[in-house]
Amino acid sequence: MLISLKWLKDYIEIKENINELEHALTMIGQEVEAIEEQGKNLENVVVGQIIEYGKHPDSDKLTLLKVDTGDEVVQIICGATNHKNLDKVAVAKIGAILPGDFKIKKTKIRGVESHGMLCSEKELGIGESHEGIMILSEDAKIGTPLKDYLELDDVVFELEITPNRPDCLSHLGIAREIAAYYNRKVKYPTANFTTLSENIDSNLKVTIDDKEGCKRYVARIIKNVEIKESPKWLQTKLKAIGIKPINNVVDITNYVMMEYNQPIHAFDYNKINNGEIIVRKANEGEKIITLDGEERNLSQKDIVIADNQKAIAIAGVMGAKNSEIDENTKNVVIEVAYFNPVLIRQTSKRLVLSTDASYRFERGVDIENATVVANRVASLISEIANGDVVEGVIDKYFEKYQEKEVTLNIERLNKFVGKEISIEDIGKIFIGLNFQIVESRDNIITIIPPSYRGDITREADLFEEIIRMYGFENIEDKLPNETVKSGTVYKETEAIDRAKNYLVSSGLQEVINYSFIPEEIISFMGFDINNCVKLKNPIVEDFAIMRPTLIYSLLLNIRDNLNRNINDLKIFEIAKTFEKDEKLAIEIPKIAIALAGSKDRNIWDIKPKSYDFYDIKAYVESILESFGMKSYQLIRSNNSMYHPGRSADIMVGRDLVGTFGEIHPDFAEKMDIKRERAYVGELDLEKILKYGKDKIKYEGIVKYPAVQRDLAIVVDNSVLVGNMLKDIEKSSNLIEKVELFDVYEGEKIETGKKSVAINIVLRDKKGTLEEDTINKTIEKILGIVKKKHNGELRSK
């Protein structure tokens, strides 16, 4: 936010120098990002006049000029084409140093000397125009320093305004802050005008169809306006804060917006059909050409201002070409409104159209100030554009602003601050901030904040106001007089750190995503929308649901990285997910992993191989193993977001611990993941801790030899081999490892069956295994396989 010092001085007496003012602004929470002293780079730049115009003898594209600079006539060669004889121009004389450390000196251009330079706005650092040199008005006095002529003696502060203080997106807002800090008075603008005898109700009808989107709409009419260039003082103020002057009426609306933090829109009254304004939702398929010349497709969630035939503005964002103020405008309708911040934000984001107006409406404007602002605009148009103000104001105000009382406990404040702040000082601060003191007794003060301070809702907010206005520098540093006790590391926190360290050491990269996802994706991912936590007022549609899973967010990461040609993706996220309870949302910590693309891409002698189901399975099972969790089963997953034959649920009894697998092709298409298959896994951290082991015991290396046996077992195709391997592994303490190394289906195997080849490693920790023990163990294994999985040892 750019704030002009000269502009501030219209509302408050400022005696402090620039450094003192910068310090004060920073101390009250309005951080100064930069300070620009205008005109600082304009030494030796003066008003000149072209008194002789000719062509360069050796170039058709250059002109050879004689320019009067007041104290001398100099020869200058110019490459611009927008000037003519007797024009008043900006001349950078020899010795001038322009922005970018560009020093002007005597030069020869194609054999002809040039003793200076005619400058554009951009070259002087006072504007963006560089299509030609600056042409000044005829009343400019030759030899006048350009900064004096342009009144560039201002200081502009660039402030970082926090989102909770939209009232400070204005000069009056900052003036109020400075006044409260220095205990001074604010001089508010006035509105002085006479009105025509005719009433606004006979000229204009306003209907609000969308009362949720527009809670207040104020309109005034000014007739017989003269559209022309704004006076110099108005142009100078707007240029100082980076706003390009357009015409007097539009400039006035921008000026008052930067004065009050209230966007204003001006319509050409004669372009509004039948003198009727309707605030409504856009129709399906409706289009509008905005003031920037772009045709924009509207949705039924957008608010529009319309007449009885067409939309004439996107409410709170930008006006339409079909109702703009132009040189033929005679009668003007002024709109001052309060639009729903969430809806404006959604429209602005969807259309990728951010304006000064939308920026302010998104953060919230002062709903109580609408008529004051409308009258201020009418007064200035009456004064500057010679307009006649029509009697009366249309004011559609539905949900009246409700004042909110907030209480402060002084004893609690002083304990928090560590210093005694008197009730008198607290009262002065509240009065300086325009807070109404309702009651003060028994160390309790009750106040009502002004309508533009929507951020004041609780006692802690009042603490902040008092501390920043009392002065941080007036509160001495003091350590608390308390014994610091050692903290407790919670089991969940320790587990999260452990999981992160394991995954990072395994080559995965951690990502952190927003905790919100769109509602439309819920059913597609196999979740019941009734069990999800909905936001009442989401910032955008894509943030409507508190996510019940981390997988959607990881898939967005996969999509975005694949689109940027990053093709070796191994990422994870550990975060809370959310489910609905009767009263509060339940927070469930989860671990999620996503793989996509090819592994080993950067190893020159290894051919890259795409990730597959067994890669995600290995990562998921290694996490479970790292937590000492072994007693689980893998069963085929029925979740609709997974590929039906390449996914699994992790179960302990009937308890679902997690899922993993390949994303279903239909879901991948919906997520716009096209070039690579994506594999994901998600685990419930609370259940891992429930079924895993807190500590994994150390076991020394066994000195006795191992024995290996290979078995080929024939089972039905429907048998899940993973579960069979786990049953084998649990069948004897002598089994050290069980691994699958082949699956065969063919002519030697009965139809509907498969041959599963497994390697079994046996070892006795107490001694060397004897043949009889080995055979009995194998017989036991075959018995379990027969009983649980109807498996037979393959005979051929």
Residues annotated in the binding site for Mg(2+), as ranges? 455, 461, 464-465
What lies within 8 Å, CB to CB, of 309 at 6+ separation is 273
Nearest Cα neighbor of 364 from 453, 292, 296, 446 is 453
Beta strands in 186-234 (DSSP E): 195-199, 205-208, 214-223
- Residue tagged 């036991």 (tokens): 780
Which neighbouring-strand residues pair with 481? none
Query: Half-sphere exposure of 74 toward its Cβ, with a 13 Å CA cutoff?
Result: 24
Q: For residue 36, how far is the Cα from the chain centroid?
A: 27
Start-to-end Cα distance in the chain: 83
Nearest Cα neighbor of 118 from 49, 41, 59 is 49
Q: Please tell me the distance from the alpha carbon of residue 423 to that of residue 471, in angstroms, as a whole number.
A: 16
* Known binding residues: 455, 461, 464-465
Amino acid identity of 715? V
Q: Please tell me the distance from the alpha carbon of residue 746 to that of residue 395, in angstroms, as a whole number.
A: 83
DSSP 485: P
Cβ distance 356 to 257 under 8 Å?
yes
Q: Please tell me the distance from the alpha carbon of residue 316 to that of residue 351, in angstroms, as a whole number.
A: 13
Q: For residue 1, how far is the Cα from the chain centroid?
A: 17
Nearest Cα neighbor of 593 from 716, 722, 685 is 685
Cβ distance 260 to 376 under 8 Å?
yes
Burial class (CB in 10 A: 0-12, 13-18, 19+), 170: buried
What lies within 8 Å, CB to CB, of 609 at 6+ separation is 598, 599, 600
Q: Which two tokens stand for residue 640?
A: 């609709």
H-helix segments, 218-295: 232-240, 248-260
Q: Please tell me the distance from the alpha carbon of residue 277 to that of residue 784, in angstroms, as a whole number.
A: 81
Strands 276-281 and 205-208: parallel
Q: Which two tokens stand for residue 323?
A: 């109702």
Q: Please tell me the distance from the alpha carbon of residue 78 to that of residue 92, in angstroms, as a whole number.
A: 12
Give φ, ψ of 653 to 5 degrees: 65, -120
Helices then strands, each counted (H, E), the chain: 20, 44
How many residues are given for the chain? 796
Give φ, ψ of 668 to 5 degrees: -60, -40
What one-character-per-residue DSSP string does 108-169 give? Answer: EETTEEE-SEE--HHHHTS-S--SS--EE-TTPPTT-BHHHHTT---EEEEEE--TT-GGGS
Helix 613-626 with 491-505: angle, nearest 10 deg: 140
Alpha carbon distances (Å) from 270 to 273, 289, 320, 326, 386:
7, 18, 14, 12, 18
Q: Please tell me the distance from the alpha carbon of residue 39 to that of residue 330, in angstroms, as a whole number.
A: 37
Q: Please tell me the distance from the alpha carbon of residue 444 to that of residue 460, in angstroms, as a whole number.
A: 14
What one-character-per-residue DSSP string does 59-110 give? Answer: EEEEEEEEEE-SS-EEEEEE--SS--TT-EEEEE-TT-EETTTEE---EEET
Q: Which two tokens stand for residue 346?
A: 């959604």
